[in-house]
C-alpha cells in the first residue's frame, strides 16, 4: 500500500488508542493495587531509572524497564523473570502516571497474560495515596 496503512486500517490517535485498550480490562486504583499485591499479585514498575532514582520505589515491586517487559513476563520465554510462572498470574503494571502502563497491559494480554492490569495514575497516584515508598 502506498499510504503505509496496514490492511487499509485508518491511523488512530493515541487518545483513541488508549480508550480502546483500556476498554479491554479493568484498571485499578492505588488501594486496590496494594491489596492485590498483598494477595500475591505481582506489581511491575516499568518507569525508567531516572524516575525511580528521583521518586523512589514501591517496596516489593519487580522493576522491569518497558523495553524488556514482554520478554521478562512471558511464562514461555527464555528470558523470563523467575516471578513469571504462569499466564494466570495477576500482574499490575505501574508507570509514572498511568498512560504507558495501559499500552503495556494491552501487549501483555496479547501474550495471554489475561489477568494483567495497570494502576490508574501510576506511581504518582500510589505515592499521593500515602502508600509505602522506599528511596
Q: Which of 28, 31, 47 is nearest to 91 (CA)?
A: 28
- Measured distance CA(66)–CA(70) in Å, rounded: 8
Lookup result for grid cell 492490569: 117
- Measured distance CA(12)–CA(46) in Å, rounded: 24
The pLDDT tens digits along the chain (135 residues) read 445 556 678 899 999 999 999 999 999 999 999 999 999 999 999 999 999 999 999 999 999 999 999 999 999 999 999 999 999 999 999 999 999 999 999 999 999 999 999 999 999 999 999 999 999
Q: Give pTM, 2 decimals.
A: 0.92
For the record, the C-alpha cell of 90 comes out as 495477576
Amino acid at each position: 500500500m502506498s499510504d503505509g496503512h496496514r490492511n487499509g486500517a485508518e491511523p488512530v490517535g493515541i487518545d483513541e488508542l488508549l480508550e480502546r485498550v483500556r476498554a479491554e480490562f479493568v484498571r485499578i486504583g492505588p488501594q486496590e493495587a496494594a491489596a492485590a499485591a498483598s494477595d500475591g499479585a505481582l506489581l511491575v514498575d516499568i518507569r525508567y531509572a531516572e524516575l525511580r532514582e528521583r521518586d523512589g520505589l514501591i517496596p516489593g515491586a519487580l522493576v522491569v524497564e518497558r523495553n524488556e517487559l514482554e520478554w521478562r513476563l512471558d511464562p514461555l520465554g527464555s528470558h523470563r523473570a523467575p516471578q513469571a510462572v504462569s499466564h494466570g498470574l495477576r500482574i499490575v503494571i505501574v508507570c509514572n502516571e498511568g498512560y504507558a502502563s495501559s499500552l503495556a497491559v494491552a501487549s501483555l494480554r496479547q501474550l495471554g497474560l489475561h489477568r494483567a492490569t495497570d494502576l490508574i495514575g501510576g506511581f504518582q497516584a500510589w505515592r499521593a495515596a500515602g502508600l509505602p515508598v522506599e528511596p
